[in-house]
Structure 1
Amino acid sequence: MLPEERKQGARVVGRAAGSARLPQGMEAPEGLPHVLTLDCAAIPTGVLDIEFPADGRLLVFGEISDYPGEGTILHLPPEAEVEEAERSGIHEPFPLYAVPGTTAPGLSDWSHVAEAVDYAEGDAERTRLVKRLIEEIDRILDARWTQDIQLGGHSRAWQNPVEDRGDVLFLRIPESAVSDGDNYLTLIAGRREQIAERRYDELEFEVEL
């Protein structure tokens, strides 16, 4: 959950858990709970590293507590009139807030950064400064809300980063951010063109424990 002090000035962009809101006559995917709904028009512009719809609603249904993971993503046009689905949600709904941030792969091993190695050049003081800089960057990126839902950015996967196979992160959903369940982590990812062309049915749901 977003710390109270961060909610000031943050905009509500959707909701997590609860029942899905779907057009009349449309049924939720069988066996997949509603995970979250995003109001696409409410997402801040110019901050994402992926193509994202400018309007409408994005609904995510998925099994986020069972390996290997399964899910469905729906994009509803802005003119779609929706109503509460008959099937109740597993958990009480709560709002989602937009907080722009920065993500990056781990920087702990500075010796893998050619520029840092060239700068240090065996000098003890320069080596100390480089290590201190890396520590400060890690501290800045390690924000208190890093276990919340993430749209785009670096996957920061616990075991298998999607970037290692050439994919791009679409959504990162820790189970603990949606329910009081175990520490499962769901990564939804695919190729950049799949995301840009809204071929959401081709994206992969992967669960890590």
Structure 2
Amino acid sequence: MIPVMTTSIVEKLVLGAAERHGVPEPVAHEMLTSSRPCVHLIPFEDMTSAQQEAARPAARTGGLPCLPDGIDWPEGREPLVLTVHCAALPREALDIELPPDGDLLFFVEIEYEPESSTVLHVPADARTTERSATYELDGEPEQARVYEPAVLYPVPGLTVAPDWRDAPATRAFLDGSAERYGILDAFEDAVRDAAAGGASQGVSVQLGGFSSAWQSAPDEGDLVLLAQIHGQSIDIDVYTQTLIVGTRKDIAERRYHALQFEQQV
């Protein structure tokens, strides 16, 4: 398994990066206060060699869904874009509550604005069968979209709130010089890279943490991020971002029907 960062390790990482980049300690502490852990799901080749040695698959993109008896492909026939193997996740790296085992299946349209989307939890002990992508609509044969399956591996990461730079010490630091924006950008990038252990996580699937939305962030107020799915992590030619949010209570109690899906381009 990939090592999970403890609070003390995260603090040491952030303070060390701040010292190297000439960022005052109070600013580093404001970043810590505004940070949340996440898990990146990435291809094997995006991991470092050390991470690859301990790698354990935790998810799969695309493919056909394996569903229990009595549960069919969701009515809208949205493609299966992601299957997460909950037991393989580094649970200590998340501050949202996911099932301890079984699979989470994400059905959502990533090429067009989704009309409906579904997240299903399939228990570990459920007897399942792989479902066909073909179905009948108004007497005519149809085919649901099936993306090429690919294995993803978990890497713990760190995210920061989009408005963390509005904190007093950070704002005062930025007001001192225009070039300090670049210093803070480099500091933030260094923290993210170090938290991910050097793994590449730019175009990936992210579970938990703060979103890195291209437009307005949907994880505001009582809503937190369950998953952020870059289209290119599913299909290299799909340039979208799908953000799935819900309340902590709904996510913890598996009321996935209450989740909200937003696509950004």
TM-score (norm 1): 0.84
SS of residue in 2 equivalent to 1:144: coil
> Is residue 123 of structure 2 the alignment partner of residue 77 of structure 1?
yes
Contact 1:64 1:70 in 2 (8 A): no
Q: 1:183 aligns with which of 222, 229, 239?
A: 239
Residues 1:34 and 2:77 are matched in the alignment: no
Q: Which residue of 214, 219, 233 maps to 1:158?
A: 214
Q: State the secondary structure of the residue aligned to 1:147.
A: coil
SS of equivalent to 1:63: coil
Q: Contact (CA 8 Å) 1:149, 1:174: kept in 2 or not?
A: yes
Q: Any conservation in 2 of the 1:47–1:100 contact (CA below 8 Å)? A: yes
| 1:203 alignment counterpart | 259
Identity of aligned residues (%): 36
* In the alignment, structure 1 residue 47 sits paired with structure 2 residue 93: yes
Count of aligned pairs between the two proteins? 204
1:35 match: secondary structure: strand
Q: Following superposition of structure 1 onto structure 2, how do residues 101-112 of structure 1 map, counting pairs within 5 Å? A: 101-106=157-162, 110=165, 112=166
Deviations along 1:11-69, one digit per CA (max 9) or x if unpaired, are 20121101111124432113211111111111112110211111111111111221255
Match of 2:186 in 1: 135
Q: Return the match for 2:67 from 11, 22, 25.
A: 22
User: 1:56 aligns to what?
Assistant: 102
What letter matches 2:219 in structure 1?
E
The alignment partner of 1:74 has SS state of strand
Distance 1:75 1:120 in 2: 45
TM-score (structure 2 length as normaliser): 0.68
- Partner in structure 1 of residue 152 of structure 2: 96
Q: Determine if contact 2:173/2:180 at 8 Å carries over to the other structure.
A: no
The 3 A distance-change label for structure 1 pair 199 and 25 is closer
| The 10-residue stretch of structure 1 (163-172 or 56-65) with the greater mean CA deviation from structure 2 | 163-172
How far, CA to CA, are the matches of 1:134 and 1:46 in structure 2? 27
Measure the CA separation in 1 of the matches of 2:192 and 2:228: 16
Q: Deviations over 1:141-172 (max 9, x none)?
A: 26631220010011110002123354100010
Letter in 2 for 1:135: A
For residue 8 of structure 1, report the CA deviation from its aligned partner: 3.3
1:33–1:90 CA contact under 8 A, matched in 2: yes
Output the CA distance in 2 between the equivalents of 1:4 and 1:145: 9
Contact 2:47 2:200 in 1 (8 A): no
* Contact 2:133 2:146 (8 Å CA) reproduced: no
Please, which runs of 5 or more residues in structure 2 have no aligned partner?
1-41, 135-144, 194-198
Kindly state the Cα deviation for residue 83 of structure 1 after the two structures are TM-superposed.
2.0
Q: 1:118–1:206: structure 2 CA closer, same or farther, 3 Å change rule? A: closer
Pick the structure with more helix per residue: 2
The answer on 1:87 being equivalent to 2:141 is no
Partner Cα distance (1:4, 1:144) in 2: 7
